[in-house]
Amino acid sequence: MVGNLILLGYFKYTNFFLSNINAILGKESPELKIIMPIGISFYVFSQIAFLTDTFRFGKGRNNELDMSSVSFIEYLLYITYFPKIIQGPIALPYEMIAQFRDTDKRKISALNFRKGIELFTIGLSKKVLLGDNLAKIADYGFLYTYYMDTLTGALVLISYAFQLYFDFSGYCDMAEGVSIMFGIELPQNFNSPYKAISVRNLWQRWHMTLTRFFVRYVYIPLGGSKKGKIRTALNVLIVFILSGFWHGAGWTYLCWGLVMGIMVVWDDLGILAVKGDIKKHYLLREKPLFVIPAGLGEILTFCMFLVSLVFFRSQDMTYAIQYFKQLFIPTWPGFMYKTSAVLDIPENYLAITATGLFAKNLTNMVYLVSWIVLLLISFLVIRSKNAREIVENGVPSKKFTALLVILFMWSFVSLSQVSTFIYFQF
């Protein structure tokens, strides 16, 4: 396990530690040109899960797989199963190997193939049509943080939150879809997190397998909630700081993890609770002091997560602090048209051509309106059923099938350039 972590540390964190050591010593040195292997964060965690579960469940305890019976080929297939190797989900050994051994799953199923195609198409359209277009806004806004006004900064931050949602959700749908075509079910990794009614509930819905990994292999071994209230809060903070550092080698990611951990600890204190998310015991009291409606809990949770994303997306701490200044110290709008102009996409061609011929002064308005429409569509998609719920509804109607065909063709022709995933870098 240490060997795996050393490899991960070398490829992912060497330059981070060297740069900080040099800063303390007042020295300057160029970064090492280390090329990080694709998916190393995910298959290192899979390796840790395999090693730990082999030690814990070597004889099949707790109704899990008898790890002593796993062959070398099964181990290799578990680690390198291609739909999950780049961005997860972080599946546990017994979840995958038990399915590899099931001969019934090796038969081609028309039902599985249909579900897989539907999931893949929904994920592809979320990524290409929504996530990639919102990325243009987010990238531009965070690049020109110092020029941002308050209203534009808020809309850019919302755009990034939606981009992150569709980028990761889209990948999860595509990975699950491809896997289902092969008859293999991956563990659910994304479950409408922006419908969460508390920050703790959000992390039960976002990157669910990463949360489960840290709970299973870090939180519980540290003592979980059985070592007293202070230790419980400390364990939660450790988990989220590690999660932040896992996402990236930078102080911004560490701050983001710390902020998320503090928010979860706040949920666990029992001072403020949301109706429908009330625990049996809190850290400070048996029952919550105040209870608010679920709808208000959703709004507050999204706003808190939104603010934390300033750390997650900013280039460094200086940019993050500046973004907070732009966001909370009111400034007059003046950068909105420039920001929206990056939406020079094929879908705007006809409107831009028409305004160029008959009303050139309205060209900027076309970009701004398209930005607002993109945000509204994103909001409606986020508030609707998730992809799994849609696919499980049964045999699709002719209208739904036609819509899937349109979305697939539209997404396909929109792939005019390299379209990377945010979590690819993690």
- Per-residue pLDDT of 376-422, as tens digits, reads 999 999 999 999 889 987 788 889 999 999 999 999 988 876 667 66
Query: What per-residue confidence (pLDDT) applies to 38?
Result: 84
Report pLDDT digits (tens) over 307-325.
Answer: 999 999 999 999 999 999 9
pLDDT digits (tens, 9 = 90+) for 155-181: 999 999 999 999 999 999 999 999 999
pLDDT at residue 5 is higher than 80:
yes
Closest listed residue to residue 301, CA positions, set 206, 208, 200, 210: 200
CA angle at 79 for the pair 76 and 82, rounded to the nearest 5°: 100
Q: Quick check: 106 pLDDT over 60?
A: yes
For residue 289, what is the DSSP state? S
Mean pLDDT of 141-148: 92
Measure the N-to-C terminal CA separation of the chain; round to a whole number of Å: 20
20 pLDDT band, cuts 50/70/90, is confident
Give the C-alpha separation, 180 to 200, whole Å: 30
**Average of per-residue pLDDT across 106-116:** 91
More confident residue, 286 or 271: 271
Q: pLDDT tens, 118-136?
A: 999 999 999 999 999 999 9
- Return the structure tokens found at 318: 């200086």
Distance, in Å, from the CA atom of 195 to the CA atom of 301, rounded to the nearest integer, reads 9
Per-residue pLDDT, averaged over 63-88, amounts to: 86
Please determine, for residue 252, whether its predicted confidence score (pLDDT) is greater than 60: yes
- Over range 41-59, report the average pLDDT: 86
What's the pLDDT at 191?
Answer: 93
Structure tokens at 75: 């181990």
Furthest-apart CA atoms within the chain: distance in Å? 76
214 vs 331: which has the higher pLDDT: 214
The per-residue pLDDT for range 29-42, each reduced to its tens digit, is 788 888 888 888 89
What is the distance between the alpha carbons of residues 199 and 188, in angstroms, rounded to a whole number? Answer: 19
- Tell which wins on pLDDT, 405 or 22: 405
- Provide the 10 A C-beta neighbour count for residue 106: 12
Residue in 116, 131, 82, 87 with CA at minimum distance from that of residue 411: 131
- For residue 199, is pLDDT > 60? yes
Give the list of residues 6+ apart from residue 237 with CB closer than 8 angstroms, or none.
Answer: 258, 261, 262, 265
Task: Evaluate if residue 141 carries a pLDDT over 90.
Answer: yes
The structural domains of the chain, with segments of one domain joined by +, span 2-106, 110-328
Q: What is the pLDDT of residue 355?
A: 77
- What's the confidence (pLDDT) of residue 81? 92
With beta carbons less than 8 A apart as the criterion, state whether 263 and 304 touch: yes
CB atoms within 10 A of CB 230: 9
Q: What is the mean pLDDT of the chain?
A: 89
Q: Band of the pLDDT at 235, cuts 50, 70, 90?
A: very high
Q: Which long-range contacts (CB under 8 A, 24 or more apart) does 416-419 make?
A: 419/127, 419/128, 419/132
Predicted confidence (pLDDT) per residue in 242-251, tens digit: 999 999 888 9
pLDDT, tens digit, 9 for 90 and up, residues 335-355: 898 999 898 888 877 777 777
What pLDDT is attached to residue 419? 66
* pLDDT for res 418: 62
One-letter-per-residue 3-state SS of 6-59: HHHHHHHHHHHHHHHHHHHHCCCCCCCCCCCCCCHHHHHHHHHHHHHHHHHCCC
| d(C-alpha 382, C-alpha 405), whole Å | 21
